[in-house]
Chains A and B, each alone.
Chain A
Amino acid sequence: MTAILEARDVKKHFRIGGGLFGKAALVRAVDGVSLSITSGETFAIVGESGCGKSTLARVLMRLLDPTEGEVVFDGTAVTHASGRTLADLRRNMQFIFQDPFSSLNPRMTVGKLIGEPLEIHAPQLSAKDRHAKVADLLAQVGLRREHAGRYPHEFSGGQRQRIGIARALASGPRLIIGDEPVSALDVSVQAQVINLLSDLGRDLGLTLILIAHDLAVIRHMSDRVAVMYLGKIVEQGTTDALFEAPRHPYTRALLDAIPDPDDRNRAGRPQIDGEMPSPAAPPPGCAFHTRCAHATDRCRKVVPVPDETSDGHMTACHHWRDIVDAPRQPFPLNRSAATKARLDLYRKATEGAKITQIAQPKPDREEMR
């Protein structure tokens, strides 16, 4: 397994305020992140708003320059690239944005939107070839050829996100970074886009980096997960390991906080109090100690060193070995026989199984309008 993208101790600090009278504050949005993304995998970066995940994504793509550290894509230093090298990198790394309403130019047709990256990255294509390629891309993301002549406002949120994906695919990238690609979508459409991204990743051998706040979405589409808190990665491991036996108290708190339709324990779930501190004034020691039930004096003073076990699972917590002895109790799949039978029938029907009617609707069910 070779690394396609590596980040080495990346930091991104912003100076805010200052002006004439105030004192400038230093916001440590990303504060020492190292990552190694394997070619072909789907890697997720999760965390709550303000944890620095979107800033990290932009530094990885070099939409922002890091304050410190370096990013390497397939042997090329992203952080120092310019000219031809940078153009090559841009072709190989593409971005999908969160908001499909503001990320597409409303004055351009869909064909033009998807054709634009082709004009830049494949100028040798004739207009005819380009149109054919745009039609292929539309088909690949589940849209129709004739959609090329329409404008973004004619599409729903899910369809717009498909256009955004087609645009990202146009240059033939090897790596796509999606910044909350499904969080603006309705539940039923969200599932369609998640499936589409998984299929494309597999069929095209793409490496995907997904930025998200929703751990349930991540669980269904990623191979490995990194959890960020206040500019740092606090835990990183395979998806199965991280969801089944989370080690960092923050990961556990995140998992406990997500309401799941199968979790109908009405007693209320464990809750962590307080909010994430400001990245302009991070607390000393472990950044999570202000909200952590296991915090000790050591946590308040000493920054935990990332502790990696032989399986590659990394945890930045002084006490994870003590906490992990009390494993998190996953709630059971809480489904009645009737629910299971109907979910199963529904799944088969959507997968194209032929359904036959075995009884007539009762006449009192019908009401002419």
Chain B
Amino acid sequence: MPDQSPLLSLSKLSLRFKGQPVCAVEDVSLSVAAGEILCVVGESGCGKSVTAMALMGLLPPGAAEIHGGVMTFDGQAFDLTKDRVPSDLRGGRIAMIFQEPMTSLNPVFRVGEQIAESVQRHSGCSRGDARLRSLEMLRCVGLPSPERLLDQYPHQFSGGQRQRVMIAMALANDPRLLIADEPTTALDVTIQAQILNLIRDLQRDTGMGTIMITHDLGVVADVADTVAVMYGGHIVESGPMTEIFENPQHPYTIGLMASVPRLSGPRQRLTTINGTVPSIRQMPSGCRFRTRCAFAAETCSTRPAQAEVGPDHSVACHFAPLEQMLKVAG
């Protein structure tokens, strides 16, 4: 995998929404290199989408207080507590695709116009050139007869086709970084496989970096080079994909792996993670996972620091690695 200075790095992002007692995202650091896919994994409310929004400068001003965080993109540093992420980065050098392609496309404009608009906005080219570029992009994402589709409206497309249009729009300005927020969650599995293959192919061809947000460990195994596991606004474990699967350290990572229903292996009762994600008002102090953790002890009321457990692999748990710290009694 490419070993160079990261395309994007985020250092210690902390933010709190107005009226909430604790930070929704706390001390989140991550980095992604060109040509690499970073998967941010976690369940609803873990802060994965909020982190992406902050990176894109999409959080509504006034709704969230950013307490800290420095983003470095392509050699430029932004102090997120003061600087606004410049709007010409969005949709230009950083592009984003969302989960629900129907609500992300404008229903009253033809698809071709919507792609062309973004091309014109960022490159300042003529309408004719922008239209040619739209056509090229629709072809590039594997849509059949793109000349005809250019003049159609979003409702005339299926879910999978709309997601292809979103990808065409996102990639029209040759972004260096793509942020994909659950891009296949709303799609059927056979279509999901097509879209994941498409993103992987395009990413290989263009050498862009990708941050993919997902809740599905299967998708992670499929596309990720590196992984960050989030719980309750903290990154609890991060590392190269194979390390995460072959040397998982955090009880939450292990619990997630145990609770995914599998296609192979014994058909046994599923292991679960007890309870549910606490609301932000009931977030425990110290390790935020401790209220659901099968191994929680008194120590866990102090927050564990990120500790390196392998090359580029770090974990925030007092009891890692588990089998050296704990055993079944008797």
Contacts and interface: CB of A to CB of B under 8 A. Distances in A.
B303 interface: yes
Interface residues of A, number: 78
Given A186-B44, A369-B286, A348 B328 contact: yes
Interface string A167-204: 00000000000000000001111111011001000000
Interface stretch (B8-16, B28-36, B148-156, B211-219): B211-219
Interface in A314-357: 330-336, 338-339, 341-343, 345-350, 353-357
Given A216-B261, A339-B257, A355 B326 contact: yes
B189 A345 contact: no
A201 B297 CA distance: 35
A357 B326 contact: yes
B256 A187 contact: yes
B321 interface: yes
A20 interface: no
A363 B315 CA distance: 15
A239 interface: yes
Contacts of A269: 193, 222
A356 B295 CA distance: 9
Contact of A262 (B221, B294, B329): B221
Nearest to A50: B188
- Most B C-beta atoms less than 10 A away, residue of A255, A273, A330, A359: A359
A158 interface: yes
B197 A195 contact: no
A339 B329 contact: no
B22 to A, nearest CB: 11
Given A188-B273, A338-B321, A260 B262 contact: yes
A347 B259 CA distance: 10
Contacts of B328: 345, 348-349, 353-356
A263 B271 CA distance: 19
Contact of B304 (A261, A330, A365): A365
Given A188-B272, A259-B218, A355 B264 contact: no
Nearest to B220: A261
Given A191-B270, A331-B264, A350-B258, 16 more contacts: A48-B191, A213-B189, A255-B263, A259-B193, A259-B219, A260-B218, A262-B265, A275-B161, A339-B247, A342-B254, A343-B257, A346-B251, A347-B271, A356-B326, A364-B307, A369-B302
